[in-house]
Amino acid sequence: MLPLIRLTPLVCRTGREANFTIDCPARNDMLVSGARYRIHVKSKVSTSVEKQLEGVMTVGNKLIFLYEPPICGEYAVILTRNDQPVETFHFFALSEEMARYRPYVGDLHSHTTYSDGKCSPGFRIIQARLLGLDFIAITDHRRFPPCLEAAEFAKANGLDILVVRGEESHPDYPGGHIVAIGIQSPVDELKLDALGNQAQTYIAEHAAIVKELEARSDLVPGLKRELYAQTLWHIRKIHAQGGIAVLAHPYWVSAERFDLDREIWHQCLRDGEMDAIELFGDVKPEDNSLAVQRCMDHLADAGRRYPLVGSSDVHSAKLDDNFGRLFTIVFAEEPSESAVIEAVLAGRSVACEELDGQPFRAYGRFEWVEFAHFLRRRFLPEHKRLCMAEGQLWYQRCFAGGMPDSVLDAVATARISLYVALWG
Ligand SMILES: [Zn+2]
Ligand SMILES: [Zn+2]
């Protein structure tokens, strides 16, 4: 949408005076030169935080005012002239700590033809950009090479997207899918010897964990130690590489029952073994709702909160599933694999759901969720529009005859400059 009148910046800091400008970029008649305006700034969070600025005059074709937001959160700026409303704007004030980070939109769970996905790693990352993602983890079942292929494809074709390394890791019992993010080499392969049989090292390490569990008296009743030991073996191998373990689609229903063993999932949460929970996965909304409630119950019972992520678990080659509709916003210092992981571990991730015809929903720490809702209204639609254009050009470059660097650079610059415009 082309703005008739706008407020900049849209994001500022608490405790620091910001220089706000209201202007009409296309020079329409919404601001009258020489007229006096009233500006009413209201915090959405606190009824005691508001300020009236009377008789503010235009300078050139602009209104300029100073305001220092005292608290974090969203603010409304109500502009009136002769007691008649002109426009209402919104901005968001971040604390000094929050302002260190930028939002990046991504998906931490996806598949390609290397397992049961339906398209190549290269095509998957082009789709990711088309759908508005800044980063994507390629996490095929028991397969690590496709994430490397995706990263290579991006590099070879000059595609500016962060490919996060990973695989979907599987203990040898049904269910219990663990998404390994930020690993440097395969995890599941470590279980096998050169002939494809269970490696002696795995057998020994697993037996040692079973023994460790036998010495514990605090296990969930009914927990199958041998199976939980398998789960722990996978998680420990992921951690040994500096990766994080994400519990995938916890309430996925398979063959008329929840796929994941209830006792193992509870023990995992109780022990704090998992690093994050896939709150939204590509399962029925009812099942995602159960995951939300389980996290709330666990927080109440154990006082422990888990980082949350939303992932599409996309398999299809068509854009007919939840790819781009279930996603994660991380607030990170930069778009890098290590910064994304650091952000998730620090609780600066928001699991997002925006299914067709449904409202946007987000879960995570309150301050980041509040900011995510603001971004959804003020930033993400434009970001997605630019990403869509970029994704189409990428497809043209990689699969349909080519596209010069200059065109790609121009679109990439427009996307990146959105961040600058947002922060002023
Ligand atoms: Zn899975
Ligand atoms: Zn999966």
The verdict on 217 and 337 lying in the same domain is yes
Ligand nearest to the CA of 107: 2
Ligand nearest to the CA of 143: 2
pLDDT at 42 over 80: yes
pLDDT at 424 over 70: no
Q: What value does the mean pLDDT take over residues 143-167?
A: 97
Distance CA(128)–CA(161), nearest Å, equals: 9
The verdict on 131 and 53 lying in the same domain is no
More confident residue, 115 or 257: 115
CB 162 within 8 A of CB 106: yes
At 46-100, the pLDDT tens digits run 999 999 999 888 888 899 999 999 999 999 999 999 999 999 999 999 999 999 9
Retrieve residue 62's tokens.
């602009």
Instruction: Compute, in angstroms, the gap from residue 307 CA to the centroid of ligand 2.
Output: 19
The verdict on 174 and 318 lying in the same domain is yes
More confident residue, 4 or 152: 152
Distance CA(1)–CA(3), nearest Å, equals: 6
Instruction: Compute, in angstroms, the gap from residue 127 CA to the centroid of ligand 1.
Output: 20
Q: Would residue 404 count as lying in a domain?
A: no
CATH, residue 74: 2.60.40.10
Among 99, 130, 145, give the residue marking a domain's end.
Answer: 99
Q: What value does the mean pLDDT take over residues 115-137?
A: 97
The verdict on 217 and 134 lying in the same domain is yes
Is residue 312 very low, low, confident or very high in pLDDT (cuts 50, 70, 90)? very high
The verdict on 81 and 225 lying in the same domain is no
Q: Would residue 420 count as lying in a domain?
A: no
pLDDT at 242 over 90: yes
Domain of 75, in residue numbers: 6-99
The candidate with the shortest Cα–Cα distance to 276, out of 304, 315, 237, 302, is 304
Ligand nearest to the CA of 109: 2
Q: Tell me how many domains the chain contains.
A: 2
The verdict on 77 and 112 lying in the same domain is no
CB 292 within 8 A of CB 66: no
What does the pLDDT read at residue 140?
A: 98
At 359-397, the pLDDT tens digits run 999 999 999 999 999 999 999 999 999 999 999 999 999
Q: Would residue 408 count as lying in a domain?
A: no
Q: Would residue 422 count as lying in a domain?
A: no
> How many Cα atoms are found within 13 Å in the side-chain-facing hemisphere of 423?
12
Q: Which of 26-30, 118-122, 196-200, 216-220 has the lowest mean pLDDT?
A: 26-30
CATH, residue 386: 3.20.20.140
CB 96 within 8 A of CB 72: no
